[in-house]
Amino acid sequence: MSKLHLVLLIHAHQPVGNFEFVFERNFQKSYLPFIECLERHPGVRIGVHYSGPLLEWLDATHPEYFSKLGEMAERGQIELVGGGFYEPILVSIPPQDQTEQIARLAAFLERHFGRRPRGAWLAERVWEPQLASTLASAGVDYTLVDDRHFLSAGFEPEQLFGHYVSEDRGLGVRVIPGLQSLRYLVPFREVADVIGFLRDASARHPGGMAAMGDDLEKFGAWPGTYDHCYTHGWLERFFAALESEAGWLETALPAECVASHPALGRADLPTASYTEMMEWVLPTEVRRRFHDLRERFASEPDVQRFLRGGFWRGFFTKYPESNLLNKKMMRAADNIERLRHRRRAPAAIAKLAEARTLVLSAQCNDAYWHGVFGGLYSPHLRTALWSALIRAETLTASVENRRNRKPRAARLDLDCDGAEEVLVEAPQFSALVKPSDGGTIAALDDRQSAVTLVNSMMRRPEAYHARLREVSTRHGGNVASIHDQTHAKEEGLEQRLRTDRWPRHAFRLLLFAPGKRYEDCDAIRLEENAALAGGVYAVEEAEAGRVKLAAETPFENGILRGRKQFEFGHAAGGFQVRCGVEISFSGSASLELEAGLELVLNFLAPDEPDRYFETPEGRRRLCWGGTVPATSLRIVDEWQGVGAQIEAPGARHIWVVPIETVSESEEGFERVYQGSQIVPVWPVHLDSETIWTAGVNLRICPAANDSVPASA
């Protein structure tokens, strides 16, 4: 009797910038017990993929585990599979870096385990047709994608029990379809259900192959799965069942199975990822409708296969914050590529090599998208990538040996949205001025401390916000998949939902009616003039350290005009940005208004005592919000070693509002601090003969460590 070959490809990853305790928790709950259980069942053979950041951590922190992987690979129980070292979405990075990412992980595995991988794990199983030649050129024999990729291309479900060749421009790679049915069964249904599925497949496809690729974290690290898999013994029973059914079922290493099974033909696959990803990427309202449609036709597979959803790159449209990070990475990578092909001194070559490694690390995928995990909404993950890119830019600039320490301004469309930005750079800082968004600063980097200062998230509706009022404890005999979990980490989160009018950038001009209070700012009830707050400003000047912008709009039977002038320069130990504002009105009446010049700064951990505001009432942790009866405010981040001094001469007061998103993570709905909205407020009187002026000076310099605690 011909056996069914079961190919299990299990993937483990931790993002660049994740907390040490998260690495350790996942190790204790998932990585260690899984391998220990597998070792007790030598008849079970699987492919495993560990991302580069996780492998480096395992080598440094748990060398005994690292050694165990080598022993199991040596005796043929596991196959160590390659991929991109820093787990990038390959299609989102430059071609030269695609090859380098794959080469670095292959070299690491060969150096530490004595064999070069034949296969490659695709991060989030994101496929585009050109990847066939990319992978083949990098020496990859095979990869695994989801059955959804094949079904969308017109394959029938019964054609997915083998592997195919996908080709691009004459170069081909073997592609294994991973079965969604198996992915949903393991480990969330009874072992007997899994064996029943495989037995049925064996009867229909004797000698065929059934494959599954999924996360190792679902075996212990996802909510509820540790007890299910280990305390209650699901994984032990599963591996034992695989061994006991050896008469008709054989677990096989992916490379061996691909080598022993001829390809079933060629497969020209469309752009795709797994089903959930292609739903998450859709715009919120479209995602709701798409989800409802999938639910309506859940029992009709012939309809489901054609409900494809979106396309991974759509996250760059859905989240401009992700797009800006990606384009900053692309620019840094291009600069390195431009410089490294010229003749250089050894020191310069070393700097460029270090810069390239930093850029490769900033290609780690997690902070570029959002689904059921925190991802883009996790400030520490975004910050880690920004910091790596800032350091890479600083190294690259030092290789170019720019002797002029004065700021330089360049006009370009950095984020590729069709609107021109002004990029101001100096050895101490870089700033991206966005005239198309109210003449704001979208990014502000302190190059001396490698800290990005704005780095916030616009609060926007997400499809899952509708479920906040439906949170309830699930009961039943089976453990819920992470995609089905519904849990809030604290009560009342639905009351904290906000929808911002504008992206969370710095130096936004808010002009509103008198009488507004802090509570109105917090609740987004200022009703500020839209044209001056978020409209398009004309660039009047962009040279060296000065950028001048102007906008106007009809208002109260007249014309309201706003001008901004940014001045960038050196400050003691750091740099400073001054934003001067002029407002004028040509109309028959006079106007009484109030103006705020909004800054957004994010120094991360809101509850830590070493990050705080200095106010007349004393120190306040970053989670604090309220009114500061002063014209200045200081923010200190002792952990990152940077401080910000804000001066707003003539301001009546300063509002400080914590920006908190409510997002979904693997642990449920949670509130996440995304920085603080800092708004100096002035009274404004305007008539046809008056030009109102004000300004804010932001000075960034090293923080002075101090032991006085900050209150909440």
Task: Give the β-pairing of 82-83 and 119-121.
Answer: parallel
Measured CA to CA, the distance from residue 600 to residue 635 in angstroms comes to: 12
Measured CA to CA, the distance from residue 457 to residue 673 in angstroms comes to: 9
Query: Looking at 79, 97, 100, 124, which residue is catalytic?
Result: 124
C-alpha closest to that of 251 among 35, 69, 37, 47: 47
Measured CA to CA, the distance from residue 88 to residue 83 in angstroms comes to: 9
Q: Which residues contact 279 (CB under 8 A, 6 or more apart)?
A: 287, 290, 291, 294, 309, 310
Helix (H, G, I), strand (E, B) or coil at 702: strand
- Residue 461 in tokens: 């509706």
Contact 6, 250 (CB under 8 A): yes
Residues belonging to the chain: 712
Measured CA to CA, the distance from residue 170 to residue 336 in angstroms comes to: 30
Contact 645, 699 (CB under 8 A): yes
Measured CA to CA, the distance from residue 646 to residue 625 in angstroms comes to: 16
Contact 451, 638 (CB under 8 A): no
Q: Reply yes or no on whether 617 is catalytic.
A: no
Contact 487, 427 (CB under 8 A): no
> To the nearest 5 percent, what fractions of the chain are helix, strand and coil?
35, 30, 35
Q: Which residues contact 8 (CB under 8 A, 6 or more apart)?
A: 46, 47, 211, 212, 251
Q: Which residues contact 231 (CB under 8 A, 6 or more apart)?
A: none
Contact 506, 599 (CB under 8 A): yes
Q: Reply yes or no on whether 167 is catalytic.
A: no
Contact 371, 276 (CB under 8 A): yes
- The sheet with strand 591-601 has its strands ordered as 508-512, 591-601, 668-686, 653-665, 626-628
Give the CA diameter of the chain.
96
The 3-state secondary structure of 125-182, one letter per residue: HCECCCHHHHHHHCCCCEEEEEHHHHHHCCCCHHHCCCCEEEEECCEEEEEEEECHHH
Please state the φ and ψ torsions of residue 209, each to the nearest 5 degrees. Answer: -130, 135
Residue with tokens 């007061």: 653
Cis peptide bond prior to 187, omega within 30° of 0: yes
Query: Looking at 39, 56, 110, 215, which residue is catalytic?
Result: 215
Catalytic residues: 124, 215
